[in-house]
Structure 1
Amino acid sequence: MAPKVLVSDKLSETAVQIFRDRGIDVDFMPDLGKDKDALLAAIPAYDGLAIRSATKVTPKILEAAKNLKVVARAGIGVDNVDIPAASKKGVIVMNTPFGNSITTAEHAIALMFAVARQLPEANASTQAGKWEKSRFMGTEITNKTLGLIGAGNIGSIVANRALGLKMKVIAYDPFLSEERAAKMGVEKVELDDLLARADFITLHVPLTDKTRGILNAKAIAKMKKGVRVINCARGGLVDEAALADALKSGHVAGAGFDVYEVEPAKDSPLFGLPNVVCTPHLGASTAEAQENVAVQVAEQMSDYLLTGAVTNALNMPSVTAEEAKVMGPWLKLAEHLGAFVGQLTHEPIKAINILYDGVAAEMNLDALDCGAISGIMKATNPDVNMVSAPVIAKDRGIQISKTTQEKSGVFDGYIKLTVVTDTIERTIAGTVFSDGKPRFIQIKGIQIDAEIGEHMLYTTNKDVPRIIGTLGRVLGENNVNIANFTLGRTHVGGDAIALLYLDNPICEKAISDLGSTGLFQSVKPLEFGVH
């Protein structure tokens, strides 16, 4: 059955056609997102939801969305999506961070020019029949210092354009490496240094608890006198009242704003001030950008729903279509390893440690982590998936760690998973053979070679006679057929294990009969859902 997608906001017809061309069943209802009750009633039928800014994806909507797997926002901002609630529900949240990057960067440059030369006021004056040539004394951009707050995708485009205008560019970004700064042609600085040196300051960071009010009254006081401030990123980054005071005092010479603390901005301390250029959130408002983000949303959602490829997700590691093909068996192995220890562990887990060896260490480890954690969590909550499992683990205070190493054994690579509780450490390892099938290769330090089936039986015992015969007899008496049988032991007479791949689930009577023989320390049925 084809995945079903709802487009609840205005989106390009090109995007809608992409869904159809890819075999997705799509309903285009561009006004539905404005009606929260109608959306609530409709959403249970859909696997995917494509939105812009009008649709509000609230916990109530997510609770009703029984089949929803992905929400994708055409644009960068996802303020209208409750990401923590989506993560707990196992719903991937995507955006399109690159579709309007050039448009937004160009708008920042345009505002910088407009503020530097007072273009809107000069235009209004001239069209009013005045000729106030001496009133509008501007400033050159050439040889001025531009301070970037945020040097990510949009910030780097602004830097490139500014360097072309012969500006000197300095950047504050905690995630910017010296190597990346050198490649961009900018100087990496601390925020206070940027404030003191920049002739123009432009912001290109998301709105978070750490960035909210990054240009407050205290920061503005540290700015160079005569600075001009541009904000095309997010409202709330700049204290508008404090900036208005600085503009009135002459400490700040001008400002260009496209975003505001409250939108739609009907009123702002900045409105009506001289040499302040204000636009109504036009950063992404070009025909090219609108088409780009809509097409990206359709392609990203289709890729995920049809192939499992994850692009530009905000609550899950991205996995390309190529990675999904190569990683598929390894991801399934990680889930199986997690499912094994999860089904055997009946007390609170304190830590999960994952070792990646050889070729496994070269893959997308964040995605493999999510697979292993989801396998563990499904033992107690079948509804979790790769999105929600890490959130649940974090909520429970479970410490997650991973280690990588070069090929160290006979296998090209393997994954070793250890779960730690107050009383026990439980370890299992597995690999993927050339046929693409995951296999268990070590349990409790005991070497094995076990094919993984949907229904399995795991037993522990001392290495004594009669184990194989007893297992065969009791399962046969209870009409349970054995597809595969794997044994392992530490040494002669030591600890031993058996792992049986069964054609059908084992019944309670068979488990009871095995327990009553006195030969087994534990008898545990396992389910892996491999089909």
Structure 2
Amino acid sequence: MAPKVLVSDKLSETAVQIFRDRGIDVDFRPELGKDKVELLKVIGDYDGLAIRSATKVTEKLLANAPNLKVIGRAGIGTDNVDKVAASKEGVIVMNTPFGNMITTAEHAIAMMFAVARQIPEASVSTHAGKWEKSKFMGVELTGKTLGVIGAGNIGGIVCRRARGLEMKVVAYDPFLSEERADDLGVQKVELDELLARADFISLHVPLIDATRNILSRENLAKTKPGVRIVNCARGGLVDEEALAEMLQSGHVAGAAFDVFAVEPANDNPLFNLPNVVCTPHLGAATTEAQENVALQVAEQMSDYLLTGAVQNALNMPSVTAEEAKTMGPWVKLAGHLGAFVGQLTDEPVKGVNILYDGAVAEMNLDALNCAVIAGLMKSVNPDVNMVSAPVIAADRGIKISRTTQPKTGVFDAYIKITVVTDQRERSIAGTVFSDGKPRFIQIKGINIDAEIGAHMLYTTNEDVPGIIGTLGQTMGGNGVNIANFTLGRADVGGEAIALLYLDDEPPAPVLDELAKTGLFTQISTLQFEVN
């Protein structure tokens, strides 16, 4: 059956058609974005939800969406999505961070011009029949110093545009390398130096704890007298009360804001102050940008629902379509390894160490890590998936570590996981053969070669005669067919293991019959999702 997607905000017909062309069953109901009661009623029918900013994806909505696998936001901001709740429910949250980069950067440059030349106020005055040439004395941008806070995708474009205007550009960004700064033609500086030198400041960072009020009252006081401040990034980056006071005192010569701490901004300390330009969050509001992000989110969601490719996800490692195809067997193996240990571990898990050997070490390890943890956590939560597993593991205080190494053995590549509890460590390794089928190759340090089936029986015992016969006779005598039988031992007479791939799960009386023989130190049934 085709995946089903709901579009609950206004997306272009071209974007909706992309879903149809890709074989997705899509319902275009943009009115639902503002009707949370009706949205709550119908959301349970859908695998995907495509939104803009009107739809609010709450914990309550997610709890009523058992089939939902992906939320696609046409745009950058996802403040209207409860991403923590989505992760716990195993729902991928995607955005489209690149579709409106140029549009937002151009708006920042336009706002810079507007505040430098007092264009909005001059326009209102002229429309009123006044001719106040002397009142609106502006400043040139050429030769001025622009301080860019955040030189990522959008900030980088602003830097390039400003250099084209013959401005001097200094940038503060902890993640900006010297090579990238040279490429942009900017000087990398610390924040205090930027504040002291900049004639104009433009902000281009997300709103997180580290950036909230980055232009605080204290930092605003460090700015150069006569500075002009532009914010087209996120509300909450600037102390608006303090900025209003400094505009009134004349320390700050002007400000241009497209975003505000509270939106919609019906009232704000910056409103109605002289030489303050305000727009209603128009950074991405161009025909081109709106079309681009709508098309992009439709393609991303379709790719995920049809091929498993993950792009621009905020709570899941990205996986390209090619990676999804190549890594598919390895993702299955990683899940099986986690599931094996998870089903055998009764005590709380403290840590999981994952070793990637050979060619697999060059793959998307973030995604493989998620698959291991998902397999491990299924024993305590059957509904867990690669999105929710890391969140659940973190909530339980489980520490995840990984190691990579070049090829060390007979296999081109393998994965080994070691689970640590207060009582013991338990390890298992596996590889993928040329036929694309995952195999277990080592358990507790004992080498084996075991095909993985939906129903398996794992036993441990001392290496003594009669084990194979006992297992075979007991299964056969109770009508349980053995599809594959694997044995391994540490040393002659030492610890030995058996792993049986069965056509059906053995009933409890069969396990009791095995236990009564006294030959086995452990008897455990295992289930794996092999389809």
TM-score by length of 1: 0.98
- The separation in 2 between residues aligned to 1:76 and 1:97, in whole angstroms, is 5
1:81-100 correspondence to structure 2 within 5 Å: 81-100=81-100
Amino acid in the other structure paired with 1:14: T
2:182 is matched with 182
Deviations 1:21-77 (A, max 9, x none): 111111110011111110110101111111111111111100000111111111111
Alpha-carbon distance, 1:498 to partner: 0.8
Please state how far the C-alpha of 1:139 moved relative to its aligned partner.
1.4
Q: Is 1:357 aligned to residue 357 of structure 2?
A: yes
> Which amino acid in the other structure matches residue 383 of structure 1?
D
Kindly indicate whether residue 220 of structure 2 is the aligned counterpart of residue 220 of structure 1: yes
Q: Distance in 2 between matches of 1:93 and 1:381?
A: 21
Q: In 1, Cα distance between the equivalents of 2:199 and 2:413? A: 54
CA RMSD, Structure 1 to Structure 2 (Å): 1.0
Moved over 6 A (4+): none
DSSP 3-state at the match of 1:213:
coil
Deviation per residue, 1:86-141 (Å, 9 max, x gap): 10010111111111111001000000011111111222223333332222222121
Q: How does 1:381-420 map to 2 (within 5 A)?
A: 381-420=381-420
Kindly indicate whether the alpha-carbon contact (under 8 Å) linking 1:95 and 1:312 is maintained by their aligned counterparts in 2: yes
1:195 maps onto 2:224 in alignment: no
DSSP-derived class of the 2:430 partner: strand
Rounded Cα–Cα distance in structure 1 between residues aligned with 2:474 and 2:146: 79
Alignment of 1:72 with 2:77, yes or no, is no
Written as runs of structure 1 = structure 2, the 5 A alignment for 1:361-380 is 361-380=361-380
SS in 1 for 2:111: helix
SS in 2 for 1:134: helix
For residues 184 and 347 of structure 1, the distance between their equivalents in structure 2, rounded to whole angstroms, comes to 54
The one-letter amino acid paired with 1:66 is P
Which residue pairs with 2:425 in the alignment?
425
The CA distance in 2 between the partners of 1:280 and 1:362, in whole Å, is: 46
- 2:133 aligns to what SS in structure 1? coil
Tell me the residue number matched to 1:13. Answer: 13
- Greater displacement, 202-211 / 172-181: 172-181
Deviations 1:263-296 (A, max 9, x none): 1111111111111111111111100011011101
Q: 2:529 matched to 1:529? A: yes
Distance 2:124 2:410 in 1: 77
- State the match for 2:32 in structure 1: 32
Deviations for 1:364-401, whole angstroms, at most 9, x for unmatched residues? 11100000000000011100000101000000011111
Measured after TM superposition, the shift of residue 185 of structure 1 is 2.5
1:331-359: CA deviation from partner (whole Å, max 9, x where unpaired): 11100000000000001000011111111
Tell me the distance in 1 between the aligned counterparts of 2:174 and 2:474.
64
Matches within 5 A, 1:45-444: 45-444=45-444
Separation of aligned partners in 2, 1:195 and 1:266: 30
Does the residue aligned with 1:31 lie in a helix, a strand or coil?
Answer: helix
Q: For the residues of structure 2 that align with 1:434 and 1:190, how far apart are their CA atoms?
A: 53
Sequence identity (%): 76
Give 1:408 deviation, angstroms: 1.3
In 1: Cα distance, 2:440 partner to 2:45 partner: 38
Distance in 2 separating the partners of 1:280 and 1:25: 35
TM superposition shift of 1:470: 0.8
- 1:443-462 equivalent positions in 2, closer than 5 A: 443-462=443-462
Q: Contact conserved, 1:478 with 1:509, CA < 8 A, in 2?
A: no
SS in structure 1 of the partner of residue 2 of structure 2: coil
Shift of 1:415: 0.7
Q: How far off is 1:174 after superposition?
A: 2.1
d(CA) in 1 for partners of 2:355, 2:148: 40
TM-score (norm 2): 0.98
**Partner of 2:157: helix, strand, or coil?**
helix
Unpaired runs of 5+ residues, structure 1, are none
Q: Which amino acid aligns with 2:182?
A: A
Instruction: Say if 1:74 and 1:96, in contact at 8 Å, map to a contact too.
Output: yes
Q: Matches of 1:149 and 1:268 in 2, distance apart?
A: 23
Amino acid corresponding to residue 314 of structure 1 in structure 2: L
- Judge which range, 382-391 or 131-140, deviates more: 131-140
Q: 1:210: how far off?
A: 2.1
Q: What is the CA–CA distance in structure 1 between the aligned matches of 2:441 and 2:190, rounded to whole Å?
A: 51
Q: What amino acid maps onto 2:466 in structure 1?
A: R
Q: Residue deviations 1:293-331, cap 9 Å, x none? A: 110111111011111111111111111101101111111
Distance in 1 (CA, whole Å) between partners of 2:321 and 2:529 is 23
| SS, match of residue 342 in structure 1 | helix
Extract unaligned runs of 5+ from structure 2: none
- How far apart, in 2, do the equivalents of 1:260 and 1:450 lie? 60
User: Is the partner of 2:272 in helix, strand or coil?
Assistant: coil
Following superposition, the deviation at residue 213 of structure 1 comes to: 1.2
